[in-house]
């Protein structure tokens, strides 16, 4: 389409049609105040802070498309006074006493008050006390701070796909509600936390992050979550000059997750209370005694030739490569996992499909970002959903078809008649794989059990159950240790957490974990992602990559 001509503050400009006035003005570098508008969300034009004048008429810049012959003015007295009036009314409507608010200093409403030089309440302030909902484990909802911009409602549906938040009543009585107006902590909220990320004021805040520090007091590290094989893009806010994380946000620019996060990625690593394994210990007749890292290096060096290694899929590629270098072809996966049908669809392409089949996983509980994609298409775009499982699956209530996994052949008859089918599956047996493989009209997305299961596969590391005089076990998921025949072996275990299985070890080594280490892994799409180191280790632990490099005789600086 041809460009159109409009005037902006008296100057003629050529713009491409289809854009909003706000988009054009921001491309021209003209600042327009906004509040309900938030770039990843659909514009809704409710706060009216962005008004501009077009041929004498005030229009919301965020929702008005450009059209020929517009004569946009952004700085007339009418525009400035209208914006100021809107702001004065917003400050009056609920209890915006900034000094009592957790987000003071980084609140978009407060910033606008400063921008417009508001130094007093122009109208009588609203006396009514609104509820504070503290029922949720991770989130506080303080309705006194709410400006009814509905960013939370839109983010919960349009992006996160959960459709939990909504609104009731009208005008001054409008309230943001969860489900049919029940406490957020009792609602169907899955704790993705996107509502808190997009809230412009202190109306929805993360409990754990409260009062830990403002964004300007933080270093922001862009990296990927390594707590599941999705590998969502995250922004980690680390307090400047300190060794703790203030909060984790979804990264809007991530080509894996485009801002979406799940409970695990946003909250669980910050609430990690599992008991850490610390120090280096050797078992003798009197129990475990501590030894130094130098003693450990010597002990390990002597045993590698007669040893084999077991690894899990929580290890980074760099750690796995070093273990392969040390143990050659005697490296095995601790936990059995075959990738049955290779995935042939990316997370980006998962959007806008007609028919989703989800097998053996409850996407409200695990792989949450995949769940968001499926739900926003099923609830928002009316795509069809089939759930196949052997146990309760909370997605079933959204599904058009629900099958027990033993009735897979019946389910397949329906799937075969659909077009544009995606099968998202986990943990199925060989008969089920055979049935699924017969589908010619479907794309497949396999959900691996461990973060770097694909990394193990790429390095040719497979599960086996063999033994040796010395068995070295590396990783976090030690389930597989239960089944190994190692009672006559000397077992070295390198792991970050205390665990029921670690008593089998003769040598126990606590290793760095989470944000204390860095490395790469392959996510479920096969993308190589980087996890940055954010924190100094706070426990007495060994950095596995550095330790393995030392065994190989390579000097590597301990960071
Ligand atoms: Fe345009 Fe709110 S930002 S109406």
The DSSP-derived string for 84-120 is: HHHHHHHHHHTT--GGG-TTTTS-HHHHHHHHTT--S
Whole-structure pTM value: 0.94
- Kind plus residue range of the DSSP H or E element containing 510: strand 507-510
- Kind plus residue range of the DSSP H or E element containing 238: strand 233-239
Are the beta carbons of 422 and 345 closer than 8 angstroms?
yes
Start-end of CATH 3.10.20.740 domains in the chain: 4-75
CA angle in degrees (0–180, nearest 5) for 453-455-460: 100
Q: Under CATH, which number does the domain 215-270 receive?
A: 3.30.200.210
Give the whole-angstrom CA distance, residue 395 versus residue 228.
20
Task: Report how far ligand 1's centroid is from the alpha carbon of 308 (Å).
Answer: 63
Start-end of CATH 3.30.70.20 domains in the chain: 90-206
Give the whole-angstrom CA distance, residue 378 versus residue 392.
19
277: phi then psi, degrees, rounded to nearest 5: -90, 125
User: 90-206: what CATH class?
Assistant: alpha beta
CA 309, 449, 536, 529 torsion: positive or negative? positive
Q: Which atom of ligand 1 is closest in space to residue 50's alpha carbon? A: 1
Task: Report how far ligand 1's centroid is from the alpha carbon of 73 (Å).
Answer: 16
Are the beta carbons of 450 and 312 closer than 8 angstroms?
yes
Task: Report how far ligand 1's centroid is from the alpha carbon of 22 (Å).
Answer: 9
Q: Which atom of ligand 1 is closest in space to residue 48's alpha carbon? A: 4
Task: Report how far ligand 1's centroid is from the alpha carbon of 556 (Å).
Answer: 54
Are the beta carbons of 145 and 101 closer than 8 angstroms?
yes
Q: Provide the Cα torsion 430, 434, 435, 440; round to 10°.
A: 140
Which mutation among 39, 62, 64 tests ligand 1's pocket best, with the greatest number of atoms within 8 A of CB? Answer: 62
End-to-end Cα, the chain, rounded Å: 56
**Rg from Cα positions in the chain:** 28
Task: Report how far ligand 1's centroid is from the alpha carbon of 84 (Å).
Answer: 13
Are the beta carbons of 527 and 343 closer than 8 angstroms?
no
Q: Which atom of ligand 1 is closest in space to residue 63's alpha carbon? A: 1
Which mutation among 49, 82, 83 tests ligand 1's pocket best, with the greatest number of atoms within 8 A of CB? Answer: 49
Are the beta carbons of 40 and 160 closer than 8 angstroms?
no
Which mutation among 31, 50, 154 tests ligand 1's pocket best, with the greatest number of atoms within 8 A of CB? Answer: 50
Please give the DSSP secondary-structure letter assigned to residue 155. Answer: I
Q: How many residues does the chain have?
A: 559
Give the whole-angstrom CA distance, residue 270 versus residue 267.
5
Task: Report how far ligand 1's centroid is from the alpha carbon of 379 (Å).
Answer: 26
Q: Which atom of ligand 1 is closest in space to residue 149's alpha carbon? A: 2
Please give the DSSP secondary-structure letter assigned to residue 64. Answer: P
Are the beta carbons of 204 and 141 closer than 8 angstroms?
yes
Give the whole-angstrom CA distance, residue 147 versus residue 134.
19
Backbone conformation region of residue 168, classed left if phi is above 0, alpha if psi is from -120 to 50, else beta: beta
pLDDT along the chain (559 residues), means of 10: 93 95 97 97 96 98 97 97 97 90 95 95 87 97 96 98 96 94 98 98 96 95 98 98 97 97 94 92 93 94 94 98 96 90 93 97 97 97 96 96 95 96 93 91 96 96 94 95 92 95 93 96 97 94 95 68
Start-end of CATH 3.30.200.210 domains in the chain: 215-270
Are the beta carbons of 368 and 337 closer than 8 angstroms?
no
Which mutation among 33, 46, 148 tests ligand 1's pocket best, with the greatest number of atoms within 8 A of CB? Answer: 46
Which mutation among 35, 38, 59, 89 tests ligand 1's pocket best, with the greatest number of atoms within 8 A of CB? Answer: 35
pLDDT at residue 556 in the model: 54
Q: Whose CA is nearest to atom 3 of ligand 1?
A: 34
Task: Report how far ligand 1's centroid is from the alpha carbon of 220 (Å).
Answer: 28
Task: Report how far ligand 1's centroid is from the alpha carbon of 338 (Å).
Answer: 51
User: 4-75: what CATH class?
Assistant: alpha beta
Other Cβ atoms closer than 10 A to 305: 10
Q: 392: closest CA among 373, 405, 380? A: 405
Among the CATH numbers 3.40.50.720, 3.40.47.10, 3.30.70.270, 3.40.50.740, which is that of 280-337+453-551? 3.40.50.740
Q: Which atom of ligand 1 is closest in space to residue 47's alpha carbon? A: 2
Give the whole-angstrom CA distance, residue 207 versus residue 191.
12
- CA separation, residue 16 to residues 23, 44, 388 (Å): 10, 21, 47
Task: Report how far ligand 1's centroid is from the alpha carbon of 534 (Å).
Answer: 37
Task: Report how far ligand 1's centroid is from the alpha carbon of 36 (Å).
Answer: 5
Name, in order, each residue with C-beta under 8 angstroms of 5's C-beta and a sequence gap of 6 or more: 12, 13, 14, 68, 69
Task: Report how far ligand 1's centroid is from the alpha carbon of 50 (Å).
Answer: 5
Name, in order, each residue with C-beta under 8 angstroms of 542's C-beta and a sequence gap of 6 or more: 280, 293, 296, 494, 509, 510, 511, 512
**Topology (CATH level 3) of domain 348-446:** Rossmann fold (3.40.50)
Q: Which atom of ligand 1 is closest in space to residue 22's alpha carbon? A: 1
pLDDT at residue 559 in the model: 44
Task: Report how far ligand 1's centroid is from the alpha carbon of 51 (Å).
Answer: 7
Q: Which atom of ligand 1 is closest in space to residue 51's alpha carbon? A: 1
Which residues form the pocket of ligand 1, taking CB atoms under 6 Å from any ligand atom? 34-37, 45-50, 60, 62
Please give the DSSP secondary-structure letter assigned to residue 20. Answer: B
Give the whole-angstrom CA distance, residue 77 versus residue 83.
10
Which mutation among 34, 58, 59, 148 tests ligand 1's pocket best, with the greatest number of atoms within 8 A of CB? Answer: 34
């Amino acid at each position: 389409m041809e460009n159109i001509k409009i005037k902006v503050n008296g100057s003629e400009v050529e713009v491409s049609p289809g854009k909003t006035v706000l988009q054009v003005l921001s491309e021209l570098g003209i600042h327009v105040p906004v509040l309900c508008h938030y770039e990843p969300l659909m514009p809704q034009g409710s706060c009216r802070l962005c008004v501009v004048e077009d041929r004498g008429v005030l229009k919301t810049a965020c929702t008005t498309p450009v059209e020929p012959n517009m004569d946009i003015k952004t700085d007339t007295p009418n525009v400035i006074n209208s914006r100021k009036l809107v702001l004065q009314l917003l400050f009056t409507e609920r209890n915006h006493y900034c000094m009592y608010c957790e987000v003071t200093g980084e609140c978009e409403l407060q910033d606008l008050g400063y921008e417009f030089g508001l130094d007093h309440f122009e109208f009588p302030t609203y006396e009514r006390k609104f509820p504070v909902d503290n029922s949720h484990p991770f989130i506080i909802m303080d309705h006194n701070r709410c400006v009814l911009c509905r960013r939370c409602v839109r983010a919960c549906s349009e992006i996160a796909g959960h459709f939990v938040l909504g609104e009731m009543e009208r005008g001054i009585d409008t309230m943001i509600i969860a489900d049919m107006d029940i406490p957020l902590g009792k609602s169907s909220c899955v704790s993705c936390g996107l509502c808190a990320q997009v809230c412009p004021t202190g109306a929805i805040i993360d409990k754990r992050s409260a009062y830990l520090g403002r964004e300007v007091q933080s270093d922001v590290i862009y990296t990927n979550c390594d707590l599941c094989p999705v590998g969502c893009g995250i922004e980690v806010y680390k307090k400047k000059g300190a060794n703790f994380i203030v909060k984790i946000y979804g990264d809007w620019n991530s080509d894996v997750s485009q801002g979406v996060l799940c409970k695990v990625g946003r909250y669980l690593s910050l609430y990690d209370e599992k008991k850490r394994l610390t120090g280096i210990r050797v078992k003798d007749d009197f129990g475990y005694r501590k030894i130094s890292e130098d003693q450990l290096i010597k002990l390990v060096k002597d045993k590698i030739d007669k040893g084999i290694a077991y690894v899990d899929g929580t290890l980074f590629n760099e750690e796995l490569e070093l273990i392969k270098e040390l143990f050659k072809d005697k490296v095995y996966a601790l936990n059995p996992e075959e990738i049955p049908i290779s995935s042939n669809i990316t997370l980006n392409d998962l959007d806008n499909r007609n028919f989703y089949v989800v097998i053996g996983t409850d996407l409200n509980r695990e792989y949450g970002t995949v769940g968001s994609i499926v739900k926003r298409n099923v609830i928002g775009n009316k795509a069809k959903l089939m759930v196949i499982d052997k146990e309760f699956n909370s997605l079933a209530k959204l599904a058009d078809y629900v099958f027990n996994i033993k009735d897979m052949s019946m389910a397949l008859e329906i799937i075969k008649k659909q077009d544009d089918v995606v099968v998202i599956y986990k943990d199925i047996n060989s008969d089920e794989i055979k049935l699924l493989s017969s589908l010619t009209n479907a794309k497949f997305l396999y959900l691996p059990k461990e973060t770097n299961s694909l990394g193990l596969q790429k390095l040719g590391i497979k599960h086996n159950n063999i033994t040796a005089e010395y068995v070295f076990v590396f990783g976090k998921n030690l389930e597989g240790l239960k089944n190994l025949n190692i009672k006559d072996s000397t077992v070295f275990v390198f792991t970050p957490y205390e665990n029921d299985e670690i008593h089998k070890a003769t040598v126990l080594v606590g290793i760095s974990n989470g944000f204390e280490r860095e490395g790469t892994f392959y996510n479920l799409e096969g993308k190589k992602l980087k996890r940055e180191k954010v924190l100094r280790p706070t426990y007495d632990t060994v950095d596995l990559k550095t330790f393995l490099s030392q065994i190989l005789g390579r000097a590597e600086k301990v960071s």
